[in-house]
Chains A and B, each alone.
Chain A
Amino acid sequence: MEQLKTIGRELAMGSQGGWGQSKEFLDLVKSIGEARSKVEEDRIILREIETLKRRIAEPDVTRRKMKEYIIRLVYVEMLGHDASFGYIHAVKMTHDDNVSHKRTGYLAVTLFLNEDHDLIILIVNTIQKDLRSDNYLVVCAALTAVCKLINEETIPAVLPQVVELLGHSKEAVRKKAIMALHRFYQRAPASVAHLLSHFRKRLSDNDPGVMGAALCPLFDLITADVNSYKDLVISFVSILKQVAERRLPKAYDYHQTPAPFIQVKLLKILALLGSGDKQASGHMYTVLGEIIRKVEMSSNIGNAVLYECICCVSSIHPNTKLLDAAIETTSKFLKSDSHNLKYMGIDALGRLIKISPDIADEHQSSVIDCLEDPDDTLKRKTFELLYKMTKSTNVEVIVDRMIDYMISINDNHYKTEIASRCVELAEQFAPSNQWFIQTMNKVFEHAGDLVNVKVAHNLMRLIAEGFGEDDEGADSQLRSSAVSSYLGILGEPKLPSMFLQVICWVLGEYGTADGNYSASYIIGKLCDVVEAHPNDITVKAYAITGIMKIYAFEVAAGRKVEMLSECQSLIEELQASHSTDLQQRAYELKALLGLDSHAVQHVMPLDASCEDIEVDKNLSFLNKFVQQAIEKGSQPYIPESERSGFSEVGNFKTLNEHENAGHGLRFEAYELPKPVPPVNISPAPHAPQITHTIPVSEPSHPREINQNPNPSSSADTSSANSEIKLQLGGVPMKWGKPAYSSSSSSSSGTISNTANGVAHRDAAAITAASQTRDFTYNHRRQQVEVSAEKQRLAASLFGKSSKSEKKVPSTNKASKASFPNTEKLAAKPLPAAEAPKEKLSNSSPQPPPPPDLLDFSESSPSIPAPEDPFKQLEELVGPSAAVVPEAHDIMGLYGLNFSPVTPANRNSEEANIVVANKKGPNLRDALEKDSVARQVGVTPTGNNPNLFRDLLG
């Protein structure tokens, strides 16, 4: 507090610090800068919000003050707080006549408001006026606001003026008008459909900036409709050629590359236009070849252009010469030390293998290195590449790798993505069903709750249907292996719900099929599942149905069934469950146990989940029941079409039948309540009763009854659903194929042997496969033998592995192994070298930022913020003064063109080094700033001594 006061005094004394804002604001920024935690920061901001609310509402706030308040609001909003109370003042500020105020107003509204905000309507008028202003800067400010704020509704209000501005004398205005029009096109394509020719016209604008801006909308337009722009191919090619030949003004050069951003944009457009068009592509070959030849590999921007060339080459009609050049560039990327370039190389490889799949082989060692790189980004990109190059020969290795990686990460978004990729690859290329099931087990175990439900249903179907060939032995072998693997997995804690559902279903269906496990053992396990997941209704439902099936099979086989005590208590518990679905299943199980073995056999036939099911759409088996009901005095059923909009209260059966008439599940929204509200409520309590009575009274139709595939058995059933079930099947047995055949409920559902992606099965393939898998497993554990592992990995990924290829990974490994050492060596002396400097400046020693390849900072001497700038100034100003004039030259040229500085080093990195080394004036600048800052009261605290560091230093 004391400190703050002194600072305040300093400020009051007039050391303005050159920032032109009020002391209050400087204090705010400063205290935020020094806040040690997010909580503290939030507290400061909340206080600031209170202050601003009060101040803004005061009468007679001067415009100048208001401008500052608005900037403070921007600051508040930037830090993630709500400043909506001040939006209206920002809007008012845009009406101001003073250009400076107006600009602030526009800045604030573009930051505050989204296009759908209510206040926008208040700005449109001002914007209209400002677009007509004589001052082109006002017009620019208005156009910037137009880009952000004008929505579909307000486009017509400004459109004519924006179009008019396309012909403005100032290029800055024309450029912004194009961007605004582009924005309109994005918002509402129809609104500017008649104006699209303007974009073409602006392509031949005198100003390269305007031309460059026109490429943005053209790119969008061409993406949407390639064919209408084929005539522009030649223009684009000639523009690109001119750009590459440095015909544009020097100002557009960037790090000695001629207008690279325009080149990139043009290459993107050409890629679109040349895709699948031999003739159009033909025009591009020469210029592409020239660019690839000319562009410097040494600068980052050059590589950006090269990468775009590769994208273009891989997109247009292939040309061998260009492809070779692209492949060569790609391999340069891959061999680079820079992670960024490796990343781009992997991406480029992914594009090129679409055209010539063989090229991946050459780069196997690089790919494997990237795969094992500690950099997550690079790893993911490599997985993307592997995903693209998966074949049936390498699917096992790739998917295993993917799963290992999937297990190791926490990022749910990516986990879902990689899980679904694994599933996709496994379904597409699985060498054997057993492998498929094992892979699925792993995916489910680790990402079960993230994958799509369909995947679970596919897995159940695969287990039920087997290979789609008549090989019963293999099918049952598959099932028993699934059962035993599931029984093993069940012991593990925290299995995802989806996976448990699959397990319960498989155990119920096939748990006792091979005779290896006793019924009571399986039932015990299923009871354990329920016990372990008291809150998961779906899993419970699957489990109880599984138990029911096991009992049914036992009864049908004529064996004596003993009810386990835990199962008994489970049933009792579920009979009182809050979930009607669970209740119903429990009652069903109880009812089933009371039936004789013959009836049970019909209700629950063994291994019948794949049987075709005939659904009697007319529900003729209910005739008798309906007849009885009518005899007892019920109303006859009136089809929906004949109904006059109301039915009699109390007759819920009629209504049920009505609901049933169409589908099992209704996807349309609920209709408005009909004039019979009580009817809808009454059926639910009746449900269980009917469950009891119907199976007994209709014993002659068990087949149809049990084979009604219940559409909702997997989903948690609402009361409406159970209602429907009652009518449909008579006995709502949760039997058959839960869920995956859901859609077949209303049609005469024939569960065909849908292709499950696995075409054939070869016993030899399986053994070989499992061997390789064991193989890879084994040596993944033996990390010591990395090189051998890599060799094998390369062999399994890329198929062939000739001797020469084997050599590559091993040497590569060697070089890789030596990397960490050299890195450490390189890293160690660095801090040591910097230590004296830091002592000199006696700032709190912060470890120097580790060198970043692309940030050029490796070469830059770190200039820590000095604690005592004045002393530093004395020391430094003298010697550096000599450098000043020359350095000023550099700064003058800086950014335009580096060549005068280092004509020999065309390499921009080196150019930067030169600048960094001659940091004389910069250091002095920084020190001056520092002293100014100290006067203002901002001190580089231990928190962040880097505040004053040159960003480019």
Chain B
Amino acid sequence: MQAWNKIHFVLLLSRQGKVRLTKWYSPYAQKERSKVIRELSGVILARGPKLCNFVEWRGFKVVYRRYASLYFCMCIDAEDNELEVLEIIHHFVEILDRYFGSVCELDLIFNFHKAYYILDEILIAGELQESSKKAVARIIAAQDSLVDTAKEQASSLSNMIAQATK
């Protein structure tokens, strides 16, 4: 059987080559990861406009797309449908945009964990699990509200305890 993963990793790189988000669906050792990032940022950031959004790399293909100063990259198998992956990236960005309200790089820098949660709702084990933006938005909202209520509960509890022990 050939490769299992559809998407091997997701990388968000700034134009300066800084890492903004990484998610590895195939096992890569830490050293290997740094090497991959270095190699790819060298290749992708150097590419001019108007060129393909795909790069062949180590027998895989990396599909990338630039949004403002941020590059979204996904590594896929050589036989996969590049255009589709390009749209998966866009799908992700649109969901981020919805969540953060016109998302910018800074949002992702400070809220990378939230970006992770969102990504986890879109891709699972390197496969697209949900293609409805509404469904993703719904579950993320549910999680957020849950966290909020939990916080409230926790704080009110501790308040009660604090008052009780006064």
Contacts and interface: CB of A to CB of B under 8 A. Distances in A.
Contacts of A823: 50
Interface in B71-128: 81-84, 86-88, 90-91, 93-98, 101-107, 109-113, 116-117, 120, 124-125, 127-128
Given A100-B147, A261-B84, A951 B104 contact: yes
A104 B113 contact: yes
Contacts of B127: 179, 182, 216
A183 B129 CA distance: 12
| Top-7 shortest CB links A-B | A946-B69, A850-B49, A304-B83, A951-B67, A949-B68, A251-B134, A922-B102
B81 A304 contact: yes
A147 B113 contact: no
Nearest to B102: A922
B161 interface: no
B131 A259 contact: yes
A715 B120 CA distance: 51
A209 B130 contact: yes
A397 interface: no
B49 A852 contact: yes
A99 interface: yes
Contact of B125 (A147, A268, A894, A943): A147
A148 B23 CA distance: 11
B52 A343 contact: yes
A543 interface: no
A340 B133 contact: no
B132 A111 contact: no
Contacts of A99: 146-147, 150
A949 B66 contact: no
A895 interface: yes
B21 interface: yes
Contacts of B54: 340, 343, 377
B106 A929 contact: yes
A98 B150 contact: yes
Nearest to A950: B102
Given A100-B150, A850-B49, A946-B68, A209 B105 contact: no
Q: Max chain A CB contacts within 10 Å: which of B67, B83, B98?
A: B83
B163 interface: no
B83 A340 contact: yes
A926 B100 CA distance: 11
Interface string A827-850: 000000000000000000000011
Interface in A382-439: 413-414, 417
Interface in A929-953: 929, 933, 938, 943-944, 946-953
B155 to A, nearest CB: 10
Contact of B143 (A103, A208, A307): A103
23 contacts: A74-B113, A137-B139, A144-B124, A208-B132, A212-B129, A216-B127, A220-B4, A304-B84, A308-B84, A340-B52, A340-B54, A342-B52, A377-B55, A413-B57, A849-B66, A852-B53, A922-B102, A946-B15, A948-B104, A948-B105, A950-B102, A951-B67, A951-B70
Interface string A244-275: 00000101101100011110100010000000
Contacts of B90: 300
Contact of A380 (B56, B65, B113, B142): B56
A176 B19 contact: no
Interface in A45-97: 71, 74-75, 77-82
Interface residues on A, range: 35 or more
Nearest to B30: A82
A951 B103 contact: yes
Given A100-B147, A304-B87, A339 B52 contact: yes
A34 to B, nearest CB: 10
Contacts of B97: 894-895, 950-952
Contacts of B98: 891, 894-895
B69 A949 contact: yes
A670 interface: no
A26 interface: yes
A261 B106 contact: no
Contacts of A300: 83, 86-87, 90
B65 A950 contact: no
B135 to A, nearest CB: 5
Interface of B: 1-2, 4, 6, 14-16, 18-19, 21-23, 27, 30, 33-34, 37, 48-59, 65-70, 81-84, 86-88, 90-91, 93-98, 101-107, 109-113, 116-117, 120, 124-125, 127-135, 139, 142-143, 146-147, 150-151, 154
Contact of B131 (A26, A179, A254, A948): A254
A896 B112 contact: no
A175 interface: yes
B129 A377 contact: no
Contacts of B125: 147-148, 179, 182-183, 186
Given A938-B106, A949-B68, 5 more contacts: A100-B147, A261-B88, A340-B83, A925-B101, A947-B106
B103 A952 contact: yes
A759 interface: no
A946 B68 CA distance: 7
Contacts of A74: 112-113, 116
A166 interface: no
Given A223-B1, A849-B49, A855-B67, A29 B150 contact: no
Contacts of A922: 102
Contacts of A925: 101-102
Interface of A: 19, 21, 26, 29, 32-33, 41, 71, 74-75, 77-82, 98-100, 103-104, 107, 110-111, 114-116, 135, 137, 140, 144, 147-148, 171-172, 175-176, 179, 182-183, 186, 208-209, 212-213, 216, 220, 223-224, 249, 251-252, 254-255, 259-262, 264, 268, 300-301, 303-304, 307-308, 311, 339-340, 342-344, 374-375, 377-378, 380-381, 413-414, 417, 823, 849-855, 857, 891, 894-896, 921-922, 925-926, 929, 933, 938, 943-944, 946-953
A80 B125 CA distance: 21
B53 A340 contact: yes
Contacts of B2: 223
A79 B21 CA distance: 9
Contacts of A947: 69, 104-106, 109
A254 B66 CA distance: 20
Contacts of B52: 339-340, 342-343, 375, 377-378
A929 B84 contact: no
B49 A851 contact: yes
A396 B16 CA distance: 43
B29 to A, nearest CB: 9
Contacts of B33: 80
A251 B132 contact: yes
A949 B104 contact: yes
A182 B112 CA distance: 28
Nearest to A299: B87
A7 to B, nearest CB: 14
A855 B65 contact: yes
A78 B86 contact: no
Contacts of A32: 18
A212 B124 CA distance: 13
Contacts of A213: 129-130
Contacts of B16: 943-944
Nearest to A375: B51
Contacts of B4: 186, 220
B91 to A, nearest CB: 7
Contacts of B139: 137, 140, 172
